[in-house]
């Protein structure tokens, strides 16, 4: 029997959501033009976390290979997202620290433009993967659960 993916994925998704929430409040994202993408990333991950329990339960009940593949894709996308944020968060911290020391607005440089493009591109790639995973989710008729473990459409 396969080990439940949520044991691995849920803590990572929760961590990423927390990191994204922290990043969303930073001016760094606005300057680097990726704030909208990080907000969407956070929203996608909240939805994914909400259906994770139902997906695993249906996988166990039906022994569905397609659902197992979907959960594996979700696990891979989650790990990729974590890797990107592990690179991005220290850059954000360094930028904030430099701003505290300098007390001036950042200068535009070729390096900053390349970095901005690279980060935005990586986040957009992850968003595309998560959008694909979210669309495939509809094939399994998964219910979204709140943190209390009840379907969200119930009071």
At residue 155, the pLDDT reads 37
pLDDT digits (tens, 9 = 90+) for 100-131: 776 655 555 545 545 556 777 888 888 899 88
Q: How confident is the model at residue 29 (pLDDT cuts 50, 70, 90)?
A: low
Q: Which of 40-44, 57-61, 86-90, 147-151 has the lowest mean pLDDT?
A: 147-151
Query: Distance (Å, rounded) from C-alpha 84 to C-alpha 77?
Result: 11
The yes-or-no verdict on residue 139 having pLDDT over 80 is: yes
Residue recorded with tokens 């927390």: 18
pLDDT digits (tens, 9 = 90+) for 47-80: 888 888 888 888 777 766 888 888 889 889 988 8
- pTM of the predicted protein model: 0.68
Q: How confident is the model at residue 93 (pLDDT cuts 50, 70, 90)?
A: confident
The yes-or-no verdict on residue 134 having pLDDT over 80 is: yes
At residue 55, the pLDDT reads 85
CB 48 within 8 A of CB 134: yes
Q: How confident is the model at residue 10 (pLDDT cuts 50, 70, 90)?
A: confident
Higher model confidence: residue 67 or residue 88?
Answer: 67
Residue recorded with tokens 């956070």: 42
- Give the SS3 label for residue 31: helix
CB 3 within 8 A of CB 68: no
Residue-wise DSSP of 109-155? -HHHHHHHHHHHHHHHHHHHHHHHHHHHHGGGTPPPB-TTSSBTT--
């Amino acid at each position: 029997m396969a080990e439940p993916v949520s044991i691995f994925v849920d803590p990572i998704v929760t961590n990423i959501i927390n990191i994204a929430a922290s990043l969303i409040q930073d001016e760094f994202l606005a300057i680097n033009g990726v704030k909208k993408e990080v907000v969407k990333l956070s929203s996608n991950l909240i939805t994914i976390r909400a259906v994770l329990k139902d997906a695993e339960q249906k996988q166990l009940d039906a022994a569905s290979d397609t659902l197992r593949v979907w959960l594996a894709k979700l696990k891979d996308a989650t790990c990729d997202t974590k890797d990107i944020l592990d690179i991005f968060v220290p850059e954000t911290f360094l930028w904030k620290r430099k701003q505290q020391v300098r007390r001036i607005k950042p200068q535009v440089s070729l390096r900053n433009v390349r970095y901005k493009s690279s980060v935005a591109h990586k986040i957009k790639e992850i968003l595309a993967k998560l959008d694909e995973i979210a669309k495939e989710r509809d094939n399994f008729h998964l219910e979204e659960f709140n943190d209390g473990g009840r379907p969200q459409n119930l009071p």
